[in-house]
Structure 1
């Protein structure tokens, strides 16, 4: 199962999918005051999973086992019971027909279209971070100092802080394409600020203003 979580809004509530179309059944069921185990214990569900797994094994030569249901413990975005995309819509039907239709649309978009868009954004963010590290290294070397690993880590945390308010790392594989584009834009601006000789505090202040301007432009474009 892919690690990248994709939260999508259903009637104002986030329902977590991943890039492969798996759904967090625990989160989805809670929206309807139910739990996944109620559905998983049904005789018709058990039969469906058994036959589906058998068919998938037949079509995937060399595989002796297919995972369609997995559970992650803890208190993270991954926590809960996750269902394979081939179970997700059937499960959604048990919750609500409207929800079933919505899930079908979201999974189709994730699997068919958004994956390519995300991959492109992820590659761009990787290039952006590489450029940021290079700019930071040059700035330190020109000032007669040797850049240390924590300098690059802190700069990445700065990028995250101006976006989220938290001076902490983030797993970019779990960000959406939109979030990755935002990160890349801020990295590019940070490279320019480093080139101008701005210190850490000045870069932070400038990047915060930049994020505010980007947010305002985005809200205006949505309102049009």
Structure 2
């Protein structure tokens, strides 16, 4: 089992790992059922036995994991039959979720990759900013990097302050990554703070295809 993935259906959150394991305890609660009741069924025992034979697994318990704080987790090949036992439509939904996870196509995985991309891009941006400041005979300090991050945040959402990037939508993360690349290019091109501010705002307008709210604040030029 790898990283935790949370996916919502009808206002209820369900948990998967990014390699397709499924939190059966959490999923069963809205249906007033329990994983142990499904596992005790003769049909389930026969299915697990046949599955182990096909997968070359000698120990059936390796397909089931008990976690102290979250309950019973099922192997991807058990998750769908269990979900179908809970509810047919829920079973189809789980089947699609796990298929996307195993193929690396789940929207949450795309967002994770994009979040990693923004972190990497900003790291490169700070390196270019530090080099630029040093070439100007200035010492790079923490507030220089904070101000640049806030400038990008302002271009994104109109607020010159810190930003919880993990809470951003996929679309906002995509725009954020684009803004970071633009700012890196602008810094490397020796653009002033005011020039960068104008260019980043224009970039946002072009991407969003609508005017960005004009906001006035004190200049924080390095």
TM tier relative to shorter chain: 0.5 to 0.7
Structure-2 residue corresponding to 1:189: 182
1:148 Cα shift?
5.4
Structure-2 residue corresponding to 1:28: 27
Change (3 A) 1:178 1:14: farther
SS at match of 1:128: helix
Mark the structure with the bigger radius of gyration. 2
| Structure 2 residue ranges without an equivalent (≥5) | 211-222
CA RMSD of aligned residues (A): 5.0
1:147 Cα shift?
3.4
SS at match of 2:19: coil
SS at match of 1:114: coil
SS at match of 1:167: coil
**Partner residue of 2:84 out of 87, 90, 93:** 93
- For residues 208 and 25 of structure 1, the distance between their equivalents in structure 2, rounded to whole angstroms, comes to 47
- For residues 148 and 16 of structure 1, the distance between their equivalents in structure 2, rounded to whole angstroms, comes to 41
TM-score, scaled relative to structure 2 = 0.57
- For residues 125 and 194 of structure 1, the distance between their equivalents in structure 2, rounded to whole angstroms, comes to 17
Bigger relative contact order, structure 1 or 2 (CA pairs below 8 A, ≥6 apart): 1
- For residues 80 and 162 of structure 2, the distance between their equivalents in structure 1, rounded to whole angstroms, comes to 38
SS at match of 1:17: strand
Change (3 A) 1:93 1:67: closer
SS at match of 2:67: strand
Structure-1 residue corresponding to 2:127: 134
| Structure 1 residue ranges without an equivalent (≥5) | 74-78, 218-224
Size of the aligned set, in residue pairs, is: 199
Change (3 A) 1:57 1:104: closer
Residue by residue over 1:9-53, the C-alpha shift from the partner in whole angstroms, topping out at 9 and shown as x without a partner, is 4345443433212234354334x2436xx1235412884697478
